[in-house]
Structure 1
Amino acid sequence: MLGIRAATPETFRVLARNEHEVLVGSDDRHLDFRASVRCADGTVDVVTFVQIHNLLGRLYLAPVRLGHAFMLRRMLARAAAQLDPF
């Protein structure tokens, strides 16, 4: 759609990792993104960064920004429930 690629396993490729953190990301002609997922002290912290390259990247990111925090919390809650159903 509009020249934006659909998400694939390569979209979230692991760029770096250590004992407590994983950095995933992808580069595209419209935008680059990175997400850091850090687990420590019983908490999970997620930080995302997006570098926009052009108007199409800006148009794509506009609606994503509106629901990003909500969807991220839902995804983390679902993952936690699958890992520890009790």
Structure 2
Amino acid sequence: MTRTTKTELPSHSLLHDYIQQGDFLDCYKCPTALPVDDAAQRAMAFPSWAKGLLRLRNILVAPLGLKNDFPEGKKIGPFPIDQRNQNEVILGLDDSHLNFRISILTTGTEAYCATWVHCNNRMGRIYLASIMPFHVLIVRNAVSQIWRPDIKSL
């Protein structure tokens, strides 16, 4: 039984500051009492198949001049922290083809994981369309890791 459901991004999310007309946005939620840092660590601890897809992505986009290694600094999983508050962490960065952010937001009873993408050009739109099937699998898996009672916080 899955406890991960597609939903609307809560109105108080920091991610709303990024959204422009025509941008991609999706959001999933699950029940949890975990604090935001624990929820984010669980969500970004990708399984080996997802890490393999990210490695393949990095190999394929390198000749196109897209970023294939994220900058040093504070990260959760492979992604840099862009901003945060007590209940939300925003991860992500800007690239030539698109800008993306991932929000992990907790309320005390639920966790939300949202992805925002702004395509900067045609390459960004092609890239987003090509990764969409994998995106859905990875995000649903990430959110399911937050509520799983059989794993301990990392």
TM-score, normalising length from structure 1? 0.76
Q: Which has the higher contact order (CA 8 A, sep 6+)?
A: 2
Aligned counterparts of 2:152 and 2:137: Cα–Cα separation in 1: 19
Q: Which runs of 4+ in 1 moved over 6 A?
A: none
Q: How many pairs does the alignment contain?
A: 84
- Tell me the equivalent position of 1:41: 108
- Tell me if structure 1 keeps the 8 A contact 2:113–2:143: no
**Structure 1 residue 7, shift from structure 2 partner:** 4.3
Larger fraction in strand: 1
Code of the residue aligned with 1:6 in structure 2: it is N
Tell me the SS of whatever aligns to 1:48.
strand
- Tell me the equivalent position of 2:130: 63
Tell me the SS of whatever aligns to 1:83.
coil
**Structure 1 residue 71, shift from structure 2 partner:** 0.9
- Tell me the equivalent position of 1:3: 65
TM-score, normalising length from structure 2? 0.46
Tell me the SS of whatever aligns to 1:6.
coil
Identity %: 32
**Structure 1 residue 19, shift from structure 2 partner:** 1.2
| Unaligned 5+ runs, structure 1 | none
Aligned counterparts of 2:142 and 2:113: Cα–Cα separation in 1: 11
Q: Please, what is the CA RMSD of the aligned residues?
A: 2.4
Answer with 4-13 or 48-57: which moved more. Answer: 4-13
